């Protein structure tokens, strides 16, 4: 029993030495494969845009390390390998024979084991100090070559690698914007706002670049603005209806509408509908203004009218929800835009403006308002304009204008128009703000010569213009025409241009209402 224990104790140091040799050998093999995979990955990255190539490198190294651990565990030295090493230094295969009788009981086995232990003790120092191979020059050379080549490719990136780095920045920006939106979703308590923001997050995740994600944020914000505008139009409609009801003696209905009592509104509508024949023509017209009907309403029409009223009365709450969602999108978009700018990525034309700033903050005339102009006078064929009050600017020039608001600065020259306002300019030039009369418009004159009109009636696609040039011809003053003569021309030209591009339904309705509102011939 004692000989068996001594036999194993003499073999354990050899096992440890073999384990160290195995680990060093596997480490050198690991370096070869790590260098080769790194070189292969960097070569591939020079031909294909691979964002986060470092993550792939770390993944490969981790996989190789796991394989390294598994290989060492499976190939770890057993007692038999140590016996073979010892057997080379002890004559007549005594160690190998003793190992074969290690689990055998008997006198012969005991004698053989005792003799082997005696021989092993006498040669143990020689065995421990035997020559061992720790380094493999070929493997070390290969790993050095692969690593040096990989380092060279890493420090000398080409266009695809630079594009990959740019892509990494964009992906991080989009991820950060999604994170901020998710934080806003957690803060929000309104389910509709949460739903809207979640849709924005989902659509952003589908985009491939930061600019596309920012464009999607701007698109979502514009859609919310259109919804808000539509809700405000509903509120304006109901306010006009209440004024009509009040002016035509239907103040009871107007009162319950102001109270927003749906049950009372429904009763009052039914009551007035029953008294249809007793109402005056003006009252009938006012009553049916929202329903857009000229006759007495049936039950289905009354129910539809009630749904319409309920929707309008709830629009204030809906507008608050839309405002909260817009604010969250504005916050996320502005943060993303600032991060893009700090990383050298242009936000393009879908930039978000900080609160309180307008995208058109510059004064187009270059003038600084610092004066007042008095009402202009006009007479005869060459009406002369006059200005008075505190103003800055000198010069003479030709010009015309009409309206009230911030007008042009001081100066003399021929012109026409009427109005009053504040403003200044230089050389008799300037622009006004506000809305005045639409009696006259200045129409650009056409130079003499052949007129060539080229029209492109194809559908609009994606992409940027290949070339854009500006003419260098002279600029002449235009002619003055009445507003109602040119309105139809402008409206027709705009509608022809919008026929090539399909507008969203909400925006199309807004454009239609815009031209209806400014039509000078409407009743």
Which helix (H) or strand (E) element contains residue 308? helix 299-313
User: pTM higher than 0.85 for the full model?
Assistant: no
User: For the chain (length 523 residues), average pLDDT per consecutive 10?
Assistant: 82 92 94 94 92 90 94 92 89 86 81 86 88 92 95 91 84 79 75 76 72 75 78 77 76 75 76 75 72 70 76 73 76 73 61 49 38 37 38 38 38 38 40 46 52 55 55 57 71 68 64 68 59
Distance CA 300, CA 513 (A): 28
Q: Which of 384, 436, 435 is nearest to 414 (CA)?
A: 384
Q: Tokens for 298?
A: 């049936």
Tokens in use for 91? 């004559």
Structure tokens at 153: 């490719």
Query: 513 in helix, strand or coil?
Result: helix
- Whole-number pLDDT of residue 236: 81
Q: Report pLDDT for 75.
A: 92
Provide the 3-class DSSP secondary structure of residue 441. Answer: strand
Q: What's the CA gap between 262 and 20, in Å, rounded?
A: 87
Query: What's the Cα-to-Cα distance from 508 to each of 462, 491, 512, rounded to whole Å?
Result: 21, 14, 6
- Angle 240-246-251 from CA coordinates, rounded to 5°: 130
What confidence score (pLDDT) does residue 44 get?
94
CB atoms within 10 A of CB 219: 14
Q: Helix %, strand %, coil % for the chain, to 5?
A: 60, 5, 35
Tokens 């009551």, residue located: 271
């Amino acid at each position: 029993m004692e000989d068996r224990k001594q036999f194993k104790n003499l073999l354990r140091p050899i096992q440890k030495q073999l384990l160290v040799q195995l680990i060093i050998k596997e480490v050198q093999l690991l370096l070869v494969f790590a260098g080769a995979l790194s070189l292969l990955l960097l070569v591939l990255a020079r031909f294909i845009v691979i964002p986060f190539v470092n993550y792939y490198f770390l993944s490969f190294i981790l996989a190789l390390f796991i394989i390294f651990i598994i290989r060492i565990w499976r190939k770890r030295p057993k007692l038999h390998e140590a016996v073979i090493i010892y057997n080379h230094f002890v004559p007549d295969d005594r160690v190998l024979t003793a190992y074969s009788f290690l689990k055998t009981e008997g006198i012969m086995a005991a004698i053989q084991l005792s003799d082997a232990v005696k021989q092993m003790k006498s040669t143990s120092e020689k065995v421990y100090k035997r020559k061992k191979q720790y380094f493999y020059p070929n493997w070390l050379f290969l790993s050095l070559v692969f690593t040096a080549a990989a380092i060279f490719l890493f420090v000398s990136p080409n266009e695809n690698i630079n594009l990959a780095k740019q892509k990494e920045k964009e992906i991080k920006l989009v991820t950060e914007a999604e994170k901020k939106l998710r934080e806003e979703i957690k803060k929000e308590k309104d389910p509709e706002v949460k739903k809207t923001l979640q849709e924005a997050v989902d659509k952003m995740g589908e985009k491939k670049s930061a600019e596309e994600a920012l464009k999607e944020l701007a698109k979502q914000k514009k859609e919310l603005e259109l919804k808000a505008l539509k809700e405000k139009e509903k509120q304006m409609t109901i306010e006009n209806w209440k004024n009509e009801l009040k002016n035509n003696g239907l103040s009871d209905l107007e009162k319950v509408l102001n109270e927003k009592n749906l049950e009372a509104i429904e009763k009052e509508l039914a009551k007035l509908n029953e008294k249809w024949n007793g109402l005056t023509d003006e009252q009938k017209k006012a009553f049916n203004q929202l329903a857009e009907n000229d006759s007495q309403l049936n039950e289905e029409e009354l129910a539809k009218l009630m749904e319409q009223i309920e929707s309008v009365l709830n629009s204030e709450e809906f507008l608050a929800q839309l405002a909260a969602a817009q604010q969250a999108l504005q916050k996320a978009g502005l943060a993303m835009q600032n991060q893009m700018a700090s990383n050298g990525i242009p936000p393009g034309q879908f930039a978000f403006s900080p609160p309180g700033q307008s995208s058109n903050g510059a004064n187009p005339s270059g003038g600084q308002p610092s004066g007042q102009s008095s009402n202009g006078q006009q007479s005869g064929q060459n009406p002369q304009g006059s200005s008075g009050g505190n103003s800055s600017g000198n010069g003479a020039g030709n010009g015309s204008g009409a309206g009230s608001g911030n007008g042009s600065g001081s100066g003399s020259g021929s012109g026409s128009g009427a109005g009053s306002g504040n403003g200044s300019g230089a050389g008799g030039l300037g622009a006004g703000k506000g809305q005045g009369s639409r009696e006259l418009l200045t129409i650009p004159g056409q130079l003499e010569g052949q007129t060539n009109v080229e029209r492109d009636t194809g559908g609009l696609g994606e992409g940027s213009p290949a070339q854009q040039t500006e003419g260098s011809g002279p600029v002449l003053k235009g002619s003055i025409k009445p507003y109602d003569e040119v309105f139809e021309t402008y409206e027709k030209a705009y509608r022809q241009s919008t026929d090539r591009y399909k507008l969203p339904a909400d925006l199309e309705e807004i454009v239609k209402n815009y031209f209806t509102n400014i039509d000078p011939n409407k009743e």
